[in-house]
Structures are given as C-alpha cells and as structure tokens.
Amino acid sequence: MQSTYNQLTELVEHHLAVIYNDVELPLSYQALAQDLLSTIGLSENQDIPPPLRHHNNWTQQDAVLITYGDSIEEAGVKPLKTLHKFLNERCIDNLNSVHILPFFPYSSDDGFSVIDYSSVNESLGDWVDIKRIATDFRLMSDVVINHCSARSAWFDNFIKGEGLGSDFFYTASPDEDLSNVVRPRTSPLLRETETATGMQHVWCTFSHDQVDFDFRNPKVLQTFVSIIRQYLDNGVRLFRLDAVAFLWKKIGTNCINLEQTHEVVRLLRTLIEHAQSDVIIITETNIPNRENLAYLGNANEAHAIYNFSLPPLLVNTLITGDCHYLKSWLMSMPPAQNGTTYFNFIASHDGIGLRPAEGLLADEELTVLVNTMQNFGGRVSWRASENGQQKAYEINIALYDALQGTTKGTDKWGFQRFICAHAIMLGLEGIPGIYIHSLLATGNDYERVKNTSHNRAINRHKWQYGELQEQLASPYSQHHRVLKAMGELLTIRRRQVAFHPNATQFTLQLGNHIFGFWRQSIDRRQSIFCLSNISDEPQEIHLSDINLVGTDQWLDLMTQQPIYASQSSIVLAPYQTMWISNLPKG
C-alpha cells in the first residue's frame, strides 16, 4: 500500500506539472516536490494524516479585527505591546482573531512593499510580541506574494546580478504588446533598471517601488514556502495571500487570474494544510465578483475569499435607501460549500473597491456613489481602463464618515446607519472582519493625507493610546457609543448557531426599503430572520411576508422582546435591525 508521504509527493508533483507545464525546470518535479515538502516541515518518517475534506475550521464565534501593528501608539512602548494590551482590554470577549497588516520592514504602501519577509519591523516590536498575540488570538498575517520592495536585498542582488534574488524578478521588453495587461494603477507597467547585465525593464503591477516576482523560477516558490513555514512557527494560523490574482504573467494575456495562479494557490493549500490542519487561507483578489468566486475552486483552493462586492453594494444601499442591487447580488451568490466560506467586511485599510461592483451596480449608480462619498470628504483613486481612459478604482474614506448621510446630504441618522451596516454584515453567511477604525468610529484623517500625499491614508489614523482611552471612557463620544454597540452585536452573534458561516441563507423579498434574509442552523433547530430598515423613514413589515412558524416562540435578539406569530405587522425605525429568532423547545 502506498504511503501517505508518497501519495502527497505525487499530489504535489501534479500541482507542479500544471504550474510549470511550459517552463523548463533545472530539476525534476519529484525533486522539487520533495524539496517543498521538506521546507514546509514534512518528511517520509512522520505520520501525515490527510486533511479532512469539506471540514469547516470556523464557527459563529469567529470574528477578526483588522489593524495595523501601530494603529494605536503609546510613548515609550513598542506598538505591538500596546496593540496586545488594547486587544485584551477591549476585544477579547467578542473578537477571537486579529489580522495584523504587514508587520515587516517596508519602504512604501504602508507595509505592502516588503523589504524583509523574515523580520518584524523593529519600530513595531519583534517575533516575541507576535507570538504573544498569537497565544491569545488567532493570528492572521499577510503573505505579500506578488511583489516586494525595490529596496530589498533581493532586488539589490538582481541589480548586481549575483546572490539570492538575482533571478527572482519578472522582466519584459517595452517592444512587446502589453496592451491586454489588467492594471490596478495608472503608473507605467515597466520600470527601467540599470543592472550589471545592462538595462532591464522590470514588471511593476502596482508601483515602481513594488517589483513583481517571476514565479517561473521555482526558487521563488521555494522561498515563499520557507517564509510560510516561518510564519507557522510564529503562530500564524490565517494566511492572507495579497494581490495573488496577478502572480503569474504570460505575455499576450491579461496577466490576471491565469490557470497557473490558481494552481499555485492549490499547491500552497496542499502543503499548508498537511503541515497544519487548522490553518485558513484567504485570497485577496479585488476583482469582479465572478472572478473572485473562482478562487474557492472546488473546495481545493482558498478556504475563504474576501467578499469584495459587499462594501460598495452595502454603502450604496444605505445612502440611497434602496436595497435592490444588494438583494440581486445576494440572490446570485452561491452558498459556500463546507470547507469554504466568505470573508465579509465593509471597511479596510485600503478603501471601497469599485471593480467588484462592476456588472452589479449600474454606471449611474456608481457615479452617484462616488459623488456622494466625495461630498462626505472622501477621495477617489483611479486606474487606466481597457480603452485607456481613467476610471474610478477605489473610494478612500473612513466608513463612519461614509455613512454620515444619504444622497440628499448629511443627516441625524449617521450612528444608526453605521450600526445597521454592521448588523447586516454580521448576520450574513461568512466570517466577519471588522477594521479597527470602524470598531472605534474613527473619522477621515485629512492630516495624514496631507502629510503622506496618499489617498488611502485618510482611513489609516494612528491613535494615541491615552487619547483613545479618554474617548472610550466618555459615554457621549461616538467612539464609546460605537464600540459599545459593536460589542453588543458581536456578543449576540457568537451565541447563535444559525450564524455559523456555513448555515443556510435565503434572501427575503420585502420591498426595496427593507433588506432581509433568513438564516437556519446546520442542524435546522434555529432560524433567524434578519430584517433591516435601510431607509430614513419608519417601515412596516407584515409578518405574513416572513412566515413565522406559529408553533414556535419568537424573540428579537436585539431587544429581547417577544415577537408573536399572531401579530399582523411590526414597524422598524429608520436603520433599525431585528434578528428574530425562534426559541429552543424544552
């Protein structure tokens, strides 16, 4: 009988054969497979239990805080220590996971231009601080896999033509037809770089400080497997594959979502889940919805994908008071099969991406959305479209300010609208991720935009720990009110089995002013009707439209008030959400 190790070797060889089908390698697939298995920490002499297929490494108790390592600063204290203190003081009861955005030495893009993948940025702390956080919280880390900093030792060696990294980077000729290449930026694709072997034109998907790797070289893959092993050893259990859609390049194609890219994700999953069975791989693919869904594969690629269409659709819903587009999208979303799920979020360190709304929001709706966000102090980042014109790529704005009003202007409902947005997200199928500046109701930081000249800095405020504590202690501050309300929502959510990320979800048809969906637990014992008034006027719901089972007792989990099936209707105040759950019998 063939050993598990031999079976695993054959599986890895298969992945490699797909990836390198038209690449001449300096070693055999078998030799490369055995090297990768050894690097990830697997050997022929150990017991390697196969991972459980279609197994969910998550429950309704999982929720992730997204933060930079230095989002909260304290004089004389390394930021990772301050972050750990904040997490234990304010988050440990409601958020069991934390995504610390790139905490490595970097040269630009607030961490996403990595100089050294193996070190913690000493201005933040060290690996001991990272491991301590990972002891108390499930830790998520970025693997910035598409590119690194032009100031890295690897790129220095590329310029010198010797040493590790000298052959790590993708180059192309400016004479080649690159017109089909999909870009998220307007900067030139190729960077002229004088090297020991002459002028080279280095591929830069994002910026000229972010130079793209050439995964046709297996040494690049081997290096990243080694990096992943180091992160596992330091407590990382969720891996965010940053900008992975652009990983494989092939002249004459659009260089995005190529089959080799998907196969690299499959390979990494095979290696990681055999080495550490409880790991979750999340792909960060800020692309149109249909393409994004493809990264779940057949439960053999990413465990989870970012639900990138949710932020623009949900913000659009709440500023227009019309949930038509949000409902249409939700009805089109396939249920995630066991072993996969969605990673839901509304705000992030970047902004509200608009590409994932393409084909979901009409052009007129997108224009209104962009204009409204600009009226609320937001900025817009642009990209070059297929016909060479500039097109809005991303809205940069703090979510609390984004929801301060509607298309009619600012109003008195900003707090309620903001909490409504999160109540909707927390009820949806998937694992929720909450950006720290949403949890703290941080507003637009115009000073950081001015100081950095980067639009994304508007939502990357750095709190002083003492000032934050004062604000959170004041019952009248928006920061206190939001943190308290968010904590209450998360506490309720984590107790409901019907909010398991893979529990059944069904979209309700309640008109355009009420956004509603139904969740049912995997064991079918609990049902929750999630009903939100997404308008600035009271809305009546006829209970016959949601069909409460008369033999069950029902309760609004938000207010703890009973809801009787015999009632003819209920009224929701502007931006009120009800989670109406049946009560267990006996």
What are the residue ranges spanned by the domains of the chain? 504-582
**Degrees, nearest 5: CA angle 370-372-376:** 115
DSSP codes of every residue in 370-428 = HHHHHHTT-EEEEEE-TTS-EEEEEEE--HHHHTSEETTEE-TTHHHHHHHHHHHHHHS
Strand, coil or helix: 127: helix
H or E element in which residue 29 lies: helix 29-40
H or E element in which residue 467 lies: helix 465-473
Annotated binding residue 422: no
Annotated binding residue 208: no
H or E element in which residue 481 lies: helix 478-494
User: What's the CA gap between 5 and 559, in Å, rounded?
Assistant: 55
Q: Which residues are catalytic?
A: 242
- Predicted confidence at residue 117, as pLDDT, reads 98
CATH architecture type of domain 504-582: Sandwich (2.60)
**234 alpha carbon, distance to own chain's centre:** 21
Q: Is residue 499 within 8 Å of residue 519, measured between CB atoms? A: yes
Contacts of 157 (CB under 8 A, 6+ apart): 163, 164, 165, 166
Annotated binding residue 129: no
Pairing of β 409-410 and β 405-406: antiparallel
Q: Is residue 280 within 8 Å of residue 501, measured between CB atoms? A: no
User: What's the CA gap between 553 and 564, in Å, rounded?
Assistant: 7
- Predicted confidence at residue 386, as pLDDT, reads 65
Residue 234 confidence class, pLDDT cut points 50, 70, 90: very high
Residue 57 predicted with pLDDT over 70: yes
Annotated binding residue 201: no
Please state the rounded mean pLDDT for residues 233-240.
98
Tokens encoding 566? 């015999």
DSSP codes of every residue in 47-69 = --PPPPTT--S--TT--EEEE-T
Residue 579 predicted with pLDDT over 80: yes
Alpha helices, H only, 200-356:
218-233, 259-275, 289-293, 310-320, 324-332
Closest by CA position to 339, among listed 142, 58, 64: 58
Annotated binding residue 109: yes
Q: Is residue 529 within 8 Å of residue 557, measured between CB atoms? A: no
Residue 35 predicted with pLDDT over 80: yes
Strand, coil or helix: 153: helix
Strand, coil or helix: 181: coil
Annotated binding residue 240: yes
The 10s digit of each residue's pLDDT in 264-277 is 999 999 999 999 99
Closest by CA position to 514, among listed 537, 542, 538, 534: 534
Please state the rounded mean pLDDT for residues 324-342.
97
Annotated binding residue 493: no
Share of the chain above pLDDT 70, in %: 98
- Predicted confidence at residue 586, as pLDDT, reads 44
Whether the model clears a pTM of 0.95, i.e. scores above it, the answer is: yes
Per the prediction, the chain carries an average pLDDT of 95
- Predicted confidence at residue 384, as pLDDT, reads 66
Closest by CA position to 149, among listed 85, 202, 96: 202
Annotated binding residue 147: yes
Q: What are phi and psi of 501, to 5 degrees?
A: -55, -25
